Amino acid sequence: MRWDRLFEELEASSHEVRADEREALAADLQDEQWAALSWIDLLGAADVRLDVSGLGEVGGVESVGDVIVLRDGLGRRTVVVPEAVVAVNGADGRAAPPPTSRRTRRQLVRALRDAELEVRVVRRDGSAVEGRIVAAGADFVQLGVGGRRVSLPWSSIAALVER
């Protein structure tokens, strides 16, 4: 009788040890998956919203590349500089990777310029400049504001918002 009970206890203990090992392995695998992710990989879910320095919380991720392109409910585009994103809110988005864009910042800015759209350039400090895009340099965007030109370095820009 004692031997039967001893073997039962050993068998139960063995099952517990294997279950603990499986749980530890699953946790390690999950940690490895998270370690391989960039925050950009979290932008694929439909409910994801970005907290952008100087702009606030925005949603509607359309594509991700050199910049993040968002589209609001009215169809207006917002071009967000990834360095201005301070938080990603919503689902983790890993099941659906965000659509990628091969267009560069300068290409997107030129497209806005060619469309002759008014834009509001939001700086990372929250201030904004409104006007038409005149040029896209290597590291700046130039706007026509009134009768003058204002050149804004990308390092100060949080987003370009179609008006």
**Are 4 and 59 found together in one domain?**
no
Burial (CB count within 10 angstroms: exposed 0-12, middle 13-18, buried 19+), residue 92: middle
**Are 48 and 114 found together in one domain?**
yes
**Are 67 and 122 found together in one domain?**
yes
DSSP state at residue 27: H
**Are 77 and 12 found together in one domain?**
no
Task: Report the CATH number that the domain containing residue 142 is assigned in CATH.
Answer: 2.30.30.100
| Tokens standing for residue 28 | 């390690």
Residue-range definition of the domain harbouring residue 153: 39-162
**Are 78 and 67 found together in one domain?**
yes
Quote the percentage of the chain above a pLDDT of 90.
43
Secondary structure of the chain: what % helix, strand, coil (to 5)? 35, 35, 30
**Are 127 and 65 found together in one domain?**
yes
Q: Where does the pLDDT of residue 75 fall: very low under 50, low under 70, confident under 90, or very high at 90 and above? A: confident
**Are 75 and 132 found together in one domain?**
yes
Direct distance between the N- and C-terminal alpha carbons of the chain, in angstroms, rounded to an integer: 84
Q: Write down the mean pLDDT value for the chain.
A: 86
Position 125 scores a pLDDT of 96
**Are 44 and 71 found together in one domain?**
yes
**What pLDDT, in 10s, does the model give residues 80-137?**
999 999 999 986 656 567 778 777 888 888 888 888 889 999 999 999 999 999 998 8
Closest CA to 67 of 100, 91, 41: 100
Number of domains, the chain: 2
Q: Quick one: average pLDDT of 35-64?
A: 88
pTM recorded for the entire structure: 0.78
**Are 90 and 52 found together in one domain?**
yes
Position 34 scores a pLDDT of 73
**Are 15 and 77 found together in one domain?**
no
**Are 19 and 84 found together in one domain?**
no
